[in-house]
């Protein structure tokens, strides 16, 4: 692999980085938000619990000797002035309110009296809940100075001179809020920067490690692909099942296998094609040369030749024209089958009837050659599901061969037999037979056992039969013993009526 070829493209790296940065920012901000929320809650709850008894103490201490109300019913302001003084000395952030039974603010002790937006009535529900739970439950109440806001508080009921109400002390008053907001802001900033920085650092380390591990497999695969591309057809990804990208690794290996398989197939097809062309041109040349010779003789010596000779020469030319046309027809048929231009049109038909017709057709030829041609088991009507014209072609070739390679007084038998879901078709002859070592090759096109057999045919007959069998998803077998004869057997699916 050359140096400038990276496993990951800069575009992909950019995308990965962007995803990382976004993730870090998102994680950082959620972390800050969650921490801030709980930190605030924690601090509020602690303050409230710590100061839960403040209101109770104020009542116990201040209302012991003096009433919060004067004789005319108005609030004892000096007492509260004193109270404020004490409170401020201890904690400036608290605000004290004197409430009546319905929660109306009778008097307030706060640092800033000029606040106009304050509310005059406080909701009693949180106060009652606080008193009921003795300050042990975290509860927020109204802030009279900031309507709408909820604050931690301490509260206790009083009952003086027949007047009832509540002492309500807001613990996180304005001052507390200001300081808290300020501190929170500072901590948030620090926390934010710290969290983001740390997350960034960890993500960077983990990200780099992840990329390294991921690209380790990718690098390996890329190297193998490149090797294959450079001509090493044996290059495969080792142990694809252990790869992190197993599917990809396996797919590459399978793809490489099928490419190599196809290349081998193409090579052998190419080799056979060349062989075929060479053989065919040889076979075309011979009858053509004979034709040319006899026609020239007829032209030149027309006057000197006897009628008998003329007839004989014409017969020879006729035979050779037949041979040529037969060869061309077979070649045409075979090339059509090989190019897969033929799609079988399967239908139910009677193979028994077809066999009768074929036997009748070849009877004359068989009689000429003094061969006994028979149809075995003709009573039973066997129906098959196949392409009738292709099956007829195959049977024709097989019978032709059987007659071709059988001597006078021999026998050719076509037999049909139902076997389970199939019909077995058997063409047996008592002819020359085929040597065992040649039997596997006779279905290859242009293979002729005996080269002198060329006078019989062109060597395409069985190749055509084989193609027809392939189209019917069936196979043909040959059983043969030299000098005793041959049997060609194949099955077709029976059609159940
Ligand atoms: P050909 O046109 O030469 O007959 P085929 O493809 O039909 O070509 O047959 C291929 C070869 O198989 C023949 O040349 C012959 O040697 C052998 N063969 C085929 N059928 C028979 C048979 N019934 N008996 C003996 N040999 C046969």
Q: What is the pLDDT of residue 273?
A: 77
Q: What is the pLDDT of residue 7?
A: 65
Residue 322 CA to ligand 1 center (angstroms) comes to 19
Q: What is the pLDDT of residue 313?
A: 92
CA trace torsion 78, 82, 88, 93 (10° rounding): -50
Please indicate whether residue 454, judged by its CB atom, sits closer than 6 Å to ligand 1: no
Q: Is 371 strand, coil or helix? A: coil
Residue 442 CA to ligand 1 center (angstroms) comes to 7
DSSP string for 36-84: HHHHHHHHHHHHHHHTTTHHHHHHHHHTTTS-SB-TTSSB-HHHHHHHH
Q: What is the pLDDT of residue 174?
A: 63
Protein residue whose Cα sits closest to atom 25 of ligand 1: 433
Helices 461-471, 388-404: crossing angle, 10 deg rounding: 150
- E-state strands within 217-264: none
Q: What is the pLDDT of residue 277?
A: 80
Q: What is the pLDDT of residue 430?
A: 96
- Cβ atoms of 405 and 432 within 8 Å: the answer is yes
Phi, psi of 230 (to 5 degrees): -80, 5
Chain centre to alpha carbon of residue 230: 29
Protein residue whose Cα sits closest to atom 19 of ligand 1: 401
Phi, psi of 98 (to 5 degrees): -105, 120
**141 DSSP β-pair partners:** 151
**480 DSSP β-pair partners:** 486
Distance from C-alpha of 195 to C-alpha of 181, rounded to nearest angstrom = 20
Q: What is the pLDDT of residue 451?
A: 52
**414 DSSP β-pair partners:** 375, 427
Residue 311 CA to ligand 1 center (angstroms) comes to 32
Out of 447, 453, 467, mutate this one to test ligand 1's pocket (max ligand atoms within 8 Å of CB): namely: 453
Q: What is the pLDDT of residue 52?
A: 85
Please indicate whether residue 484, judged by its CB atom, sits closer than 6 Å to ligand 1: no
CA atoms within 13 A of residue 36's CA, in its CB half-sphere: 19
Residue 399 CA to ligand 1 center (angstroms) comes to 11
Protein residue whose Cα sits closest to atom 23 of ligand 1: 402
- Cβ atoms of 153 and 181 within 8 Å: the answer is no
Q: In ligand 1, which atom is closest to the CA atom of 406?
A: 24
Q: Within the chain, which residues score under 70 in pLDDT?
A: 1-8, 88, 110-118, 173-177, 378-379, 445-458, 497
Q: Which two tokens stand for residue 219?
A: 């690098």
Q: Which two tokens stand for residue 362?
A: 């070849």
């Amino acid at each position: 692999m050359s140096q400038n070829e990276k496993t990951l493209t800069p575009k992909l790296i950019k995308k990965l980085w962007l995803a990382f940065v976004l993730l870090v920012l998102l994680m950082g901000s959620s972390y800050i938000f969650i921490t801030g929320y709980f930190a605030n809650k924690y601090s509020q709850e602690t303050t409230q619990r710590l100061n839960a008894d403040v209101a109770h103490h104020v009542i116990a201490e201040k209302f012991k000797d003096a009433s919060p109300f004067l004789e005319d019913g108005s609030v004892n302001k000096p007492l509260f002035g004193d109270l404020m003084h004490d409170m401020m000395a201890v904690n400036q952030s608290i605000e004290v309110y004197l409430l009546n039974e319905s929660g109306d603010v009778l008097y307030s002790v706060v640092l800033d009296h000029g606040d106009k937006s304050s509310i005059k009535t406080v909701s009693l529900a949180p106060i009652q809940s606080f008193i009921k739970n003795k300050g042990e439950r975290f509860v927020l109440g109204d802030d009279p100075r900031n309507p709408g806001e909820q604050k931690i508080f301490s509260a206790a009921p009083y009952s003086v001179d027949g007047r009832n109400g509540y002492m309500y002390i807001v613990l996180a008053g304005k001052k507390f809020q200001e300081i808290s907001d300020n501190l929170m802001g500072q901590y948030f900033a620090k926390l934010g920067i710290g969290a983001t920085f740390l997350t960034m650092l960890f993500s960077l380390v983990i990200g780099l490690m992840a990329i390294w591990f991921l690209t380790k497999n990718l690098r390996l695969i890329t190297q193998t692909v490149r090797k294959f591309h450079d001509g090493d057809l044996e290059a495969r990804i080792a142990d694809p099942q252990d790869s992190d990208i197993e599917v990809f690794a396996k797919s590459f290996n399978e793809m490489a296998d099928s490419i190599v398989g196809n290349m081998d197939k193409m090579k052998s097809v190419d080799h056979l094609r060349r062989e075929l062309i060479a053989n065919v041109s040889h076979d075309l040349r011979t009858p053509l040369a004979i034709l040319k010779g006899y026609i020239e003789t007829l032209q030149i010596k027309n006057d000197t030749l006897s009628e008998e000779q003329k007839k004989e020469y014409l017969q020879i030319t006729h035979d050779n024209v037949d041979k040529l046309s037969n060869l061309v027809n077979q070649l045409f048929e075979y090339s059509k089958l090989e190019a897969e231009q033929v799609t079988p049109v399967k239908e139910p038909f009677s193979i028994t009837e077809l066999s009768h017709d074929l036997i009748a057709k070849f009877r004359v030829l068989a009689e000429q050659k003094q061969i006994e041609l028979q149809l075995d088991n003709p009573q039973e009507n066997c129906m098959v599901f196949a392409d009738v014209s292709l099956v007829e072609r195959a049977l024709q070739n097989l019978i032709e061969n059987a007659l071709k390679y059988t001597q006078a007084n021999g026998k050719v038998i076509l037999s049909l037999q139902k076997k389970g879901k199939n019909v077995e078709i058997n063409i047996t002859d008592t002819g020359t037979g085929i040597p065992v070592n040649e039997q596997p090759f006779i279905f290859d096109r242009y293979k002729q056992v005996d080269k002198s057999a060329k006078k019989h045919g062109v060597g395409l007959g069985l190749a055509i039969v084989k193609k027809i069998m392939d189209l019917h998803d069936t196979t043909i077998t040959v059983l043969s013993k030299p000098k005793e004869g041959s049997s060609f057997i194949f099955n077709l699916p029976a059609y159940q009526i």
